[in-house]
Amino acid sequence: MSGSGRFLMWLAKRTPKVRNYLGLEIRQKMVKRAEVWLKDLALDNIHFLFANAPISFKQLVESYPGPLHTSVTVRLGSDDADSKQCPDPHFKKKHHKRRVLQKPLVGAIVDNLSPGGQVFVQSDVLEVALDMKDQLDEVDALSHIDALNSDILCDSEGWLLSNPMGIRTEREIHAEFEGAKIYRRLYEKKQM
C-alpha cells in the first residue's frame, strides 16, 4: 500500500533514470492526490494505481513487459489518528485474513521477482512483523539478508538495525518519534 505516496516519490526522485516505481493504493482519493504531486514534480519513473494489492498485484506484475528486478517493499503499521498511510494490522484473529501480506501475495511477489531481487518488510507492530517474517521465512526461494551480506547489521533475532532503503516513511518517522521500535526484514531471491 503506497499511502500518500511520498516515500515512493522520494525514491523516484533519488533514482530518476535508474528505477521505476509503482504504488498500489486502495484509497482512490490518495491515488488522485499522489498523481497531482507527480505532475507538479515532473517525475516520469513512478505511477500510482487504485488497486487492492493482495488481489491485483499478481495480475499487474504478470502483465508487466519485463522482469521485476528491484525490491518490493511492504510497509505495515498501526492505524491511528496521527497517520493513516499504513493499513490496519487487523489484531483480531478473525480479521487476520484482511492483512495485506497473505500467502497468495507472497507467492506472486516471489514468482515474479528476478533472482537477486529483494523484498523489504517493516512494521511498528511486533505481531504483524512476526506474521510477515513467518510467511517469508517459509519461502525456500528467499534468503534473509544476514545470510548473504554481513555488512547489513541485524540484531540477534534477525531484525535489521536500520532502514536499508535510505529513506524513511512518514509512519516510520512518526513511530520512532513516539519511541516505537520498527521491525524490519530484508530478503533476497536466490540465484537459481
pLDDT digits (tens, 9 = 90+) for 74-92: 544 433 222 222 345 555 5
CATH code for position 174: 3.40.50.150
Domain count, the chain: 1
Grid coordinates belonging to 88: 490496519
Q: Is residue 40 in some structural domain?
A: no
pTM over 0.85: no
Residue 105 domain flag: yes
Q: Residue 4's pLDDT is what?
A: 76
Position 33: which residue type? Answer: R
Domain of 168 in residue numbering reads as 52-77+97-189
pLDDT of 87 reads 42
Place of cell 536500520: 162
Q: Would residue 88 show up in a list of annotated catalytic residues for this protein?
A: yes
Please say if the pLDDT value at position 141 is more than 90: yes
Parallel, antiparallel or unpaired: strands 118-123 and 183-189 = antiparallel
Residue at 16 is within a domain: no
Asked if the structure places residue 10 within a domain, the reply is: no
- Catalytic residue (choose from 44, 88, 134, 151): 88
Residue 2's pLDDT band (cuts 50, 70, 90)? low
* Domain contains 153: yes
* pLDDT band at residue 154 under the 50/70/90 scheme: very high
Quick one: pLDDT at residue 81?
A: 22
